[in-house]
C-alpha cells in the first residue's frame, strides 16, 4: 500500500517531533525511524525531511548542533526544545481528535468491500 503524499505531509511534523521526544537524532536516523514506525509504508524522503527540520528550527521547536559520529563524519544533531514539547502536546491532541472522528465514521458507516475503490 502506498500512503498518499498529502497524508504523509500532514503527519510529518508530529512524527518528527515525536521521534525527537525520545532523544536527539540526525536526519538519516530520523528517516530510518519513520520507516520502522510505519512498517516501511510511509514514503518519507530527505527532500521532505530537511525543509521540515529547518522550519521546525526556525519556529523554535527544535535546535541543532554539529557533532562528530563514531566514524568521524560530521552530523547535525536535532533535539526538541521546550516549545517543541508544547507543540508536540498540541499535535497529539489534534491528531487524537482526527483519529477518533475517523474511527467513529468507519465503525458506524457502511464499509466498502476491498477492491471496490
pTM of the model: 0.88
pLDDT of res. 2: 81
pLDDT of res. 43: 81
What average pLDDT does range 47-61 have in this prediction? 97
Residues contacting residue 52 through CB under 8 Å, at least 6 positions apart: 12, 13, 16
pLDDT of res. 110: 73
Residues contacting residue 85 through CB under 8 Å, at least 6 positions apart: 21
Cell numbers placing 100: 477518533
In this structure, is residue 58 part of a structural domain?
Answer: yes
In this structure, is residue 48 part of a structural domain?
Answer: yes
Beta-bridge partners for 79: 63
In this structure, is residue 19 part of a structural domain?
Answer: yes
Count of structural domains, the chain = 1
Could you tell me the residue range of the domain that residue 57 belongs to? 5-94
CATH of the domain at 28: 1.10.10.10
Beta-bridge partners for 96: none
Number of helical (H) and strand (E) elements in the chain, helices listed first: 4, 2
Which band of pLDDT confidence, cut at 50, 70 and 90, is reported for residue 38?
very high
Is residue 27 within 8 A of residue 53, CB to CB? The reply is: yes
In this structure, is residue 73 part of a structural domain?
Answer: yes
Mean of all residue pLDDT scores within the chain: 92
Place of cell 525543509: 51
In this structure, is residue 102 part of a structural domain?
Answer: no
In this structure, is residue 90 part of a structural domain?
Answer: yes
In this structure, is residue 21 part of a structural domain?
Answer: yes
What average pLDDT does range 63-86 have in this prediction? 96
Which band of pLDDT confidence, cut at 50, 70 and 90, is reported for residue 14?
very high
Which band of pLDDT confidence, cut at 50, 70 and 90, is reported for residue 44?
confident
Amino acid at each position: 500500500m502506498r500512503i498518499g503524499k498529502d497524508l504523509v505531509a500532514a503527519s510529518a511534523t508530529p512524527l518528527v517531533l515525536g521521534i525527537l521526544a525520545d532523544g536527539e537524532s540526525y536526519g538519516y536516523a530520523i528517516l530510518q525511524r519513520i520507516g520502522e514506525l510505519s512498517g516501511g509504508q510511509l514514503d518519507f524522503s530527505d527532500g521532505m525531511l530537511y525543509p521540515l527540520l529547518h522550519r521546525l528550527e526556525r519556529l523554535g521547536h527544535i535546535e541543532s548542533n554539529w557533532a562528530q559520529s563514531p566514524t568521524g563524519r560530521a552530523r547535525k544533531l536535532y533535539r526538541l526544545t521546550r516549545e517543541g514539547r508544547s507543540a508536540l502536546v498540541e499535535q497529539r491532541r489534534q491528531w487524537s481528535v482526527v483519529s477518533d472522528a475517523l474511527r467513529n465514521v468507519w465503525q458506524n458507516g457502511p464499509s466498502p468491500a476491498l477492491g471496490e475503490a
